[in-house]
Structure 1
């Protein structure tokens, strides 16, 4: 990646952190994500973390693997304040340098949860393709 592109990325203003997501809110967005997955017959695991990447809620649909990837993707989205697709896209274009960042799982499917303009946690879906994971996670966010 060129220095000018890196500088442009660094200049982006990211949202600030707010109060951590509640378990009740985590359940609402996880239920919406799970409903979307079920509508497509995509069995997945859904993870919601707080702003520090600590697990708040986890749900695994029947006939899917126990997915630590969902937890790790949600933590990366919370800690680095961006969807994990951003890491995937950079890695695909610039090579594996991105994989050296602690706690980064460069796979689509996780998004920061933003309420009142502040990050309160993150939501991830895992078990399908990256695009399927993103569809389910975005459906969860839409429930907020």
Structure 2
């Protein structure tokens, strides 16, 4: 079987499995993009939560299309966290779900990992205003659960 045919087969299986990833209510629509001022507030809440716990992280806030609106990195955060935080935020915004859902989905249906932009690690959370997604926050630097804890603190601000 050719490489392109193998890829297309895996992608087809993943696309069929995607709706089953989250046994959740229909995902909400997109609202207006998050502003820079609001993104800074989200990041400040993330940094405050991480500082309280003595965790060094990178935090990225993106708009509804996954475009970077704001980025901040705490001192002594691992270099890889720059890209990971942005990828988590982008996945959460464009797929309108947390990145934890992908981690769980990949464990059940490995072909899910072939979808473009999927990040199978907790720490990406959509940001809602009036029930609509306006962007997402991604956090990286500690464990996935700890990243997610900090991202939730930011998304709820």
Question: Residue 100 of structure 2 is aligned with which of 78, 85, 108?
Answer: 85
* Counterpart in the other structure of 1:137: 151
| Whole-angstrom distance in 2 between the partners of 1:139 and 1:41 | 15
| Whole-angstrom distance in 1 between the partners of 2:30 and 2:106 | 26
SS in structure 2 at match of 1:63: coil
Q: Could you tell me whether the CA contact under 8 Å between 2:34 and 2:63 is conserved in 1?
A: yes
Question: Residue 21 of structure 1 is aligned with which of 20, 24, 34?
Answer: 34
* Counterpart in the other structure of 2:131: 117
Q: What is the TM-score when the length of structure 1 is the normalising length?
A: 0.90
RMSD of the alignment, in Å?
A: 2.2
1:4-63 per-position Cα deviation (integer Å, ceiling 9, x unaligned): 995585884110000000000000010000110011111000000000000000000001
SS in structure 2 at match of 1:121: strand
| Whole-angstrom distance in 2 between the partners of 1:63 and 1:25 | 25
Count of residues in correspondence between the two structures:
141
Q: Could you tell me whether the CA contact under 8 Å between 2:17 and 2:112 is conserved in 1?
A: no
Query: 5+ unaligned residues in a row in structure 2: which ranges?
Result: 1-12
SS in structure 2 at match of 1:119: strand
Moved over 2 A (4+): 3-12
Out of 37-46 and 4-13, give the one that drifted further.
Answer: 4-13
| Whole-angstrom distance in 2 between the partners of 1:74 and 1:104 | 11
Query: 5+ unaligned residues in a row in structure 1: which ranges?
Result: none
Q: Could you tell me whether the CA contact under 8 Å between 2:59 and 2:73 is conserved in 1?
A: yes
| Whole-angstrom distance in 2 between the partners of 1:105 and 1:7 | 17
Q: 1:11 to 1:139 in 2, by over 3 A?
A: closer
Whichever of the two has the greater Rg, that structure is 2
1:72-111 per-position Cα deviation (integer Å, ceiling 9, x unaligned): 11000000000000000111233x2111000111110011
